[in-house]
Chain A
Amino acid sequence: AQSVAQPEDQVNVAEGNPLTVKCTYSVSGNPYLFWYVQYPNRGLQFLLKYITGDNLVKGSYGFEAEFNKSQTSFHLKKPSALVSDSALYFCAAGGGATNKLIFGTGTLLAVQP
């Protein structure tokens, strides 16, 4: 069965420091991988996706993610965190024979000034 794991419930980082939010997946066949962000009292917003091609994907707001097939990971990164990046981040995976997108449980990113 497909699954997505976000091992950290919360990530704390100081403003200006690099950040990483981790995601691992289990999908049969070639995976389609996504990151979404949710600000308080808002719906989820698309950040970036990996379908095929370059393993480093660049997305909105300076975020990027690296697809690592051997480690089945798709970690979200940003070189320099902003306080305004504080939000709930969801990794999602789809692919194989299914039309479903499976979401992880979310990671709360807290950026301290």
Chain B
Amino acid sequence: EAQVTQNPRYLITVTGKKLTVTCSQNMNHEYMSWYRQDPGLGLRQIYYSMNVEVTDKGDVPEGYKVSRKEKRNFPLILESPSPNQTSLYFCASSSYTSGINTGELFFGEGSRLTVL
């Protein structure tokens, strides 16, 4: 079954304690992206990756890191989480066509993070 898998689904942590949210896709997609969803703000892109070892900042990258060492995995790292990073996070992937991302995005189920 084609899917994007995120872990953990729920996490409560404290300020400053490093954490990683994993994301894995089994569709051989080139493009992967992280979003955060906040009430009234919709989805905002944090980082994206066009392929292995190619990553770039989205609209709200501050406080986050990513890596793309393998095509299927795209972990999101919060080195020193703060309460304003409390949010619902989504990983997504897509095929990549002709230099323009026109493929539909496949989303994971989301990871709800609370930073105290």
Contact = CB atoms under 8 A, between A and B. Distances in A.
A103 B107 contact: no
Contacts of B106: 46
Main secondary structure of the interface of A (DSSP, over half): strand
Interface size class of B (residues with CB under 8 A): 20 to 34
Given A46-B104, A49-B104, A105 B40 contact: yes
A100 B104 contact: no
A42 B100 CA distance: 27
Main secondary structure of the interface of B (DSSP, over half): strand
Contact of A99 (B4, B40, B101): B101
Interface in A27-45: 32, 34, 36, 41-45
B101 to A, nearest CB: 5
Interface residues of A, number: 22
A34 B100 contact: no
Given A43-B110, A44-B107, A45-B107, A90 B43 contact: yes
B113 interface: no
Interface of B: 4, 31, 35, 40-45, 48, 50, 58-59, 90, 92, 100-102, 104-110
For the complex of A and B, 8 pairs with smallest distance between CB atoms: A43-B107, A105-B42, A46-B104, A103-B43, A44-B107, A103-B42, A43-B109, A99-B101
